[in-house]
Amino acid sequence: MPGLVSLPTPPQTPSLPVFIPARNGHSSANKTPSPSNSRTRPGKKTPEKVPTTDSSLDNPDLGPFMLKLARDAMASGENPNKALEYALRASNSFENCSDPGPGIELVMSLHVVASIYCTLGRYEEAIPVLERSVEVTDHENGSDLALARFAGYMQLGDTYSMVGRVDKTISCYESGLKIQIEALGESDPRVAETCRYLAEAHVQAMQFDEAENFCKKTLEIHREHNAPASLEEAADRRLMALIYEAKGDYESALEHLVLASMSMIANGQDNEVAAIDVSIGDVYLSLCRFDEAIFSYQKALTVFKSTRGDNHPSVASVFIRLADLYYKSGKLRESKSYCENGLRIYAKPVPAATSEEIARGLTEISAIYEAINEPEEALKLLEKALMLLEDTPGQRSKIAGIEAQMGVMFYMTGMYGKARNSFESAIAKLRSNGEKKSVFFGIVLNQLGLACVQLYKIDEAARLFEEAREILEQECGSFHLDTVGVYSNLAATYDALGRVEDAIEILEYILKLREERLGTANPDADDEKKRLVELLKEARRSRSRKGKKSLENLLDSNPNKMERTKRWSGFSFKN
């Protein structure tokens, strides 16, 4: 009988952390878009009286005056709402007085308005303002307007990133890169920075081939313009290592990390060397080279404790990695001990620790407790992590990841109604963030379908499995295990709905995929063969196999084969 297959739900959202030093210009993590390149000197000034009549907007002197007040108010940091009022009036005045057409002043004022909106956390309102700033420079010429349009695209990409719209971020960065290359050429160091933003955005979107291409371009330009073993080259190599690690090319990742570490040592960056040691330990752990991983982690731990203190989140992050290592090497007592060490730090964090850091750490520890079969404790940690994050556009992907993991915990403990609610909440957040075509979204849809099956909502489960199948086929391909797992779930659901012919068709397709890749007698195909035989008997059909033994003969040829135990194998159901 067809059984349901649960896909592994990642403990966090697909957005991957990029541990790199901060750079000038745009930042890839928690960045607040900035206005155009012009800057004001900080200092507090007494605001001058502002004209309030609409007719004053036609005064050509009003726009520059209001823009100056807006910048002064921003520099003082005392009243961002007043700064927003000034900036809006400035942009309205420039719009009214833009004869024969919009100029650089209007674009600059729009950038300032958008920047203030972002400072206030009103990202959705900043987006149309930035789109307008790009629109007014669309058909204009001149280096100033080209630079302003580039700045508009980059700021718009940053803002989309803050609301989790990585696809839009990539599109904006690509438009900005095209303008920049036309103005500066392909080898300018500023082009390298834009390529880097694109590489990081593709990493967040889990598009690693594209990320690798942009990162290689960045590395080539920096090596051309900088001395050997520069800090820029080291940062590029760390990003390249992250990409290779995500692609499973651990040896290449290790090579780039070692070179980056040598560059940081040459530049006296001890804390950065320790951070790279952590990454090296991660790669060794992936290669099951546990002793070398422990050595790398302990080196980093010593530096972090001496430079940042025993209760710093960076120390806790190393404890979590050691806990994961000892779990994977079968030493559960040591693993749990390191988890408890990390939890003690998160219980009394240093003032510099952010709620995002603590929430991420609690989520990682919960994954270890889940692995050692303590789902109740894992669930408590996830609930604590969820309370630390605010439901803002920039946090929704992270919250969705935690809610999806909570759904898995509820499912494992038999609380299917709560599991369904958690998965539905996660899916709603992912849809609102424009992530409805990601692999992670497809996996969460599959998990929600499983919860619906347990609640006897079979029609709803079928719709969810169908949507998940479409997404995973597009993103992973037909042969991927996640895609095949959803196919199997869909076959079981069709069978429960009485759609036996559709179930048979899917199982025949799954079996064909497995046999093409793995051979006709591979153990991975046994389950599907047995399910298909049962359905064929029920439908009084036989499977036609030209030039091959019958399915029954293939099964009879190995009658003593032990049935493989599968996770979630208890989810088979009948009409």
pLDDT at 433: 73
- For residue 306, is pLDDT > 70? yes
* 572 has a pLDDT exceeding 60: no
In this predicted model, what pLDDT tens digit does every residue of 318-332 receive, in sequence order? 999 999 999 999 999
- Residue 1, pLDDT above cutoff 90: no
Q: What is the pLDDT of residues 165-217, one digit of tens each?
A: 888 999 999 999 999 999 889 999 999 999 999 999 999 888 999 999 999 99
The answer on pLDDT for 153 being more than 90 is: yes
Sketch out the chain's domains with CATH numbers: 22-184 (1.25.40.10), 443-571 (1.25.40.10)
| Measured distance between the N- and C-terminal CA atoms of the chain, rounded to whole angstroms | 11
Indicate whether 548 pLDDT > 50.
no
With a cut of 70, say whether residue 92 has pLDDT above it: yes
The pLDDT score that the predictor gives to residue 128 is: 93
Task: Look up residue 14 and give its DSSP letter.
Answer: S
Pick from 323, 319, 316, 388: which is nearest to 356 by CA?
388
**How sure is the predictor about 28, in pLDDT bands with cuts at 50, 70 and 90?**
very low
| pLDDT of amino acid 509 | 80
Task: Record the pTM.
Answer: 0.72
Q: Which of 19-23, 127-131, 442-446, 482-486 has the lowest mean pLDDT?
A: 19-23
User: Which of these ranges, 126-130, 383-387, 549-553, has the smallest mean pLDDT?
Assistant: 549-553
Is the confidence at residue 366, as pLDDT, over 90?
yes
pLDDT at 537: 62
Contact 403, 422 (CB under 8 A): yes
Query: How far is Cα 183 from Cα 144, in angstroms, rounded to an integer?
Result: 11
54 has pLDDT over 70 = no
Distance CA 393, CA 73 (A): 26
Has residue 131 got a pLDDT over 70? yes
Helices 80-96 & 62-76 angle (0-180, nearest 10) = 160
Name which of 170, 140, 142 is nearest 156 in CA terms: 170
Q: What length is written for the chain?
A: 575
For residue 38, is pLDDT > 80?
no
When comparing pLDDT for 392 and 446, which is higher? 446
In the chain, the amino acid numbered 451 is A
Span 14-34, average pLDDT? 36
Q: Has residue 549 got a pLDDT over 50?
A: no
Highest mean pLDDT among 57-61, 127-131, 138-142: 127-131
Angle at the Cα of 395 (from 393 to 399), degrees rounded to 5?
A: 120
At 269-290, the pLDDT tens digits run 999 999 999 999 999 999 999 9
Residue 334, amino acid: E
DSSP 227-248: -TT-HHHHHHHHHHHHHHHHTT
Q: Residue 76: enclosing H or E segment and its boundaries?
A: helix 62-76
Interacting residues of 42 by C-beta distance below 8 A, sequence separation 6+? 75, 76
